[in-house]
Structure 1
Amino acid sequence: MHDLQPLQYPIGPFTAAASYTLEQTKEHLAAIAVFPHNLTELVGKWGDDRLDTPYRPGGWTVRQLVHHVADSHMNAYIRTKLALTESVPTVKPYDENAWSQLPDYTLSVAPSLVILSNMHQRWVTVLDALTEEQFQRPYFHPESQKQVPLAEALANYAWHGEHHYQHIYQLALRNQWV
């Protein structure tokens, strides 16, 4: 398993900082904003042979990764809105491995790329209007049993996008697809 660590975490695991400056948060926001474009540029024209290739032994296929990122970031968008409109809402966790086995994960990646593009536009519009104080509004995540401020959530999802982008990009490099 140790040998798979670089394939599993090509940019390392996410580690939350104790706090985030507004400048760091804006950098995370910029990463969130450009992510759908970058992902679409990478995989948007790939055929089934590439999309159905696992990014590592025992890992999800590229197709599953793209659908997973759309599901995950939709949840993040909803969690953002909940944190902004409710007092420390408890968010609902979900079993991402179980979701990856549902029939929509066999679809073309096009619907998820469109979802990411459009949803990120809305998410970035909301996030870009927030004050430094609003980025401190938290939600409660029952799996970690902790309150997650929006600045930390944003850092996590900026990492999450790059984490999965690198899964796919590194696979493409190994297979000489780019």
Structure 2
Amino acid sequence: MEIENLKYPVGRFQKPEQISGEMLAGFIAVISDFPGKLHKEVQHLNEQQLDTPYRPEGWTVRQVVNHCADSHMNALIRHKLALTEDNPTIKPYHEDLWAELPDTKTMPIEPALHILDGLHARWIALLKGLSETDLNRTFTHPEHNKAFTLDESIGLYAWHCDHHLAHITSLKERKGWT
């Protein structure tokens, strides 16, 4: 399998031209279901499997799980900033460097799974309470020099859930761990 397919098993994020209410509900459902699906995929993996990269020169399963907790914490904060400030410029972070820190690279995954459970419960409560006006609020990402609407960001994070879940499921399939 070529590296691009291993790196982007569900393809790259494609922003829809228009985000309908039905699409948004689908995005929120993906985000809502993610912690449970992730638990299901990693609960029986042993330490050696957790420390297996999902692709050559890629992160290990352990790093992917811990990255999701880091990334989704940042997402919730970005959404709250957009809802409480006028187009705030968010703080980017070096996810590649965070993935090399001890809490991401070597720590058991259970704390990250617990974070995702609680974080997603709060995040979903927030997302389900947003009005049309709220969904059009923005934050600016300085790395992209672009303002993102909340509905676009919700779509991006739904993709992010599917993207990293597919890293794990495709690795398990290739290795015969299913």
One fold, TM greater than 0.5?
yes
Distance between the aligned counterparts of 1:91 and 1:32, measured in 2? 21
Q: Deviations over 1:29-69 (max 9, x none)?
A: 00000000000011023110110000001100000000011
Say whether the 8 Å CA contact 1:33–1:121 is kept in structure 2.
yes
Structure-2 residue corresponding to 1:94: 93
Structure-1 residue corresponding to 2:131: 131
SS in 1 for 2:132: coil
Distance between the aligned counterparts of 1:17 and 1:145, measured in 2? 19
SS in 1 for 2:148: strand
SS in 2 for 1:147: strand
Distance between the aligned counterparts of 1:174 and 1:45, measured in 2? 16
In the TM superposition, 1:96-175 aligns within 5 A as: 96-105=95-104, 106-175=106-175
Distance between the aligned counterparts of 2:7 and 2:96, measured in 1? 15
Q: TM-score under structure 2 normalisation?
A: 0.97
Distance between the aligned counterparts of 1:139 and 1:156, measured in 2? 14
Unaligned 5+ runs, structure 1: none
In the TM superposition, 1:54-93 aligns within 5 A as: 54-93=53-92
Q: Deviations over 1:103-124 (max 9, x none)?
A: 1011001000110011000000
Structure-2 residue corresponding to 1:44: 43
Distance between the aligned counterparts of 1:136 and 1:22, measured in 2? 13
Distance between the aligned counterparts of 1:50 and 1:44, measured in 2? 11
Distance between the aligned counterparts of 2:132 and 2:74, measured in 1? 22
RMSD of equivalent CA atoms: 1.0
| Residue-pair matches, total | 177
The share of aligned pairs that are identical, in percent, is 46
* Partner amino acid, structure 2, of 1:103: P
Distance between the aligned counterparts of 2:119 and 2:44, measured in 1? 21
Distance between the aligned counterparts of 2:84 and 2:126, measured in 1? 12
Unaligned 5+ runs, structure 2: none
Q: TM-score under structure 1 normalisation?
A: 0.97
Q: Shift of the alpha carbon at 1:3?
A: 2.3
Structure-1 residue corresponding to 2:8: 9
Q: Shift of the alpha carbon at 1:148?
A: 0.3
Q: Shift of the alpha carbon at 1:18?
A: 2.6
Deviating 4+ runs (over 2 angstroms): none
Whether 2:22 is the aligned partner of 1:23: answer: yes
Distance between the aligned counterparts of 2:114 and 2:166, measured in 1? 20
